[in-house]
Structure 1
Amino acid sequence: MNEAFNRNWLIGKFGEIRLRTVKALDQLTDEEVNASPDPASHSISALIQHIHSNVQERIAKGILHREYERGIQWIPVFAACDELKRLIEDDMNLILQTLHGMRPEQWLETQIVRNKERTHLDMLHQCAAHYSEHMGQILYLAKWFRRDQYRSTSI
């Protein structure tokens, strides 16, 4: 395992997720981040709250061994745009601090996810992919709400 490569790649990926998600949120109103395009779709607020729960479960609990009990998912709860940005910032700061502080042996320690043992390295890459997928949903919804006024978040 190339520890430096993985650490640097993950730091870059989570930094990109943070930057692009916040840039999208900066363009939206509180009403827009809490709205869904249809009853079968999630709002941006629900997606960010889902990411937060995942960060707490996989990073805070799984890697840092902090107490966390994941609640019921996908219940719509109104959240102001500034509150969602703060949640993203806090979550990404936790991930980045964790990555910077991981000792070599921690990368291959394991945690149980859906009854399967997975290394922290594997979980961090899985989280990067998972959050990127949800970032894509958030960017799509932001573009859908803003239409012609949407500003690209590409780096």
Structure 2
Amino acid sequence: MNIGREYLKTVTQRFTDAKITTEKAIEQLTERELFWSPNEESNSIAIIIKHMSGNMVSRWTDFFTSDGEKPYRNRDDEFVEDSKTKEQVMELWELGWNTFFTALKDIDEEHLLKTITIRNEPHSVIEAIERQMYHYSYHVGQIIYIAKNLKSSDWKSLTIPRKSK
């Protein structure tokens, strides 16, 4: 068994699972709910998606040859609501994930220990992948938590539903 190949297969599947599970939560939401936030200091699901997409595009475009924090990225703008429709939000979602999965497909096992930079700091490709696993999981959890709260008793389980009482 090639450990590097198995690692890449496994992380690709885990990221795919996170994407699909999140989409199942988003599908349950109305457009209005997608843009809802509990207060001015909290992010809506739409904002979280915009931020994740910005991060994915910045981190994974030309990641072997350029810093993961691109000069054109304005992270603060990712937290400003400018999308108007669910369709626009989902286009950002797909752009980010497509950029990330395309980069992940281009990684071979011999690349895993190669050094890349993120914010002028060296990372092995494995470290960069794991950094993103943590980051994306954090936001996926936020999205699902918000969606579940919004849907309340109308929530449809994303995995194994609880047994009825």
Identity of aligned residues (%): 25
Q: CA deviation at 1:5?
A: 2.4
Q: CA deviation at 1:102?
A: 1.6
Give yes or no for the alignment of 1:15 onto 2:11.
no
Query: After TM superposition, where is structure 1 displaced by more than 4 Å over at least 4 residues in a row?
Result: 64-68
**Counterpart for residue 127 of structure 1:** 132
The count of aligned residue pairs is: 155
**Counterpart for residue 143 of structure 2:** 138
Q: Pairwise mapping of residues 53-72 of structure 1 onto structure 2 (< 5 A)?
A: 53-63=54-64, 65=66, 69-72=72-75
Query: 8 Å contact 1:22–1:85 — kept in the other structure?
Result: no
Change (3 A) 1:132 1:124: same
Query: 8 Å contact 1:59–1:95 — kept in the other structure?
Result: yes
Q: Which stretch shows the higher mean deviation, 54-63 or 138-147?
A: 54-63
Q: CA deviation at 1:126?
A: 1.0
Distance 1:111 1:52 in 2: 20
Compute the TM-score of the two structures, normalised by the length of structure 2: 0.82
Distance 2:9 2:75 in 1: 33
Q: CA deviation at 1:65?
A: 4.9
Ranges in structure 2 where 5+ consecutive residues have no aligned partner: 161-165
Change (3 A) 1:153 1:63: farther
What's the RMSD between the two structures over aligned residues? Answer: 2.3
Compute the TM-score of the two structures, normalised by the length of structure 1: 0.86
- Letter matched to residue 142 of structure 1: A
Query: 8 Å contact 1:14–1:92 — kept in the other structure?
Result: no
**Secondary structure of the structure 2 residue equivalent to 1:108:** coil
Query: 8 Å contact 1:25–1:85 — kept in the other structure?
Result: no
Q: CA deviation at 1:115?
A: 3.3
**Secondary structure of the structure 1 residue equivalent to 2:39:** coil
Change (3 A) 1:68 1:79: farther
Q: CA deviation at 1:154?
A: 2.1
**Counterpart for residue 44 of structure 2:** 43
- Letter matched to residue 45 of structure 2: I
**Secondary structure of the structure 1 residue equivalent to 2:48:** helix
Question: Which of 106, 109, 112 does residue 107 from structure 1 map onto?
Answer: 112
Structure with greater Cα Rg: 2
**Secondary structure of the structure 1 residue equivalent to 2:123:** strand
Distance 2:65 2:93 in 1: 18
Q: CA deviation at 1:152?
A: 1.7
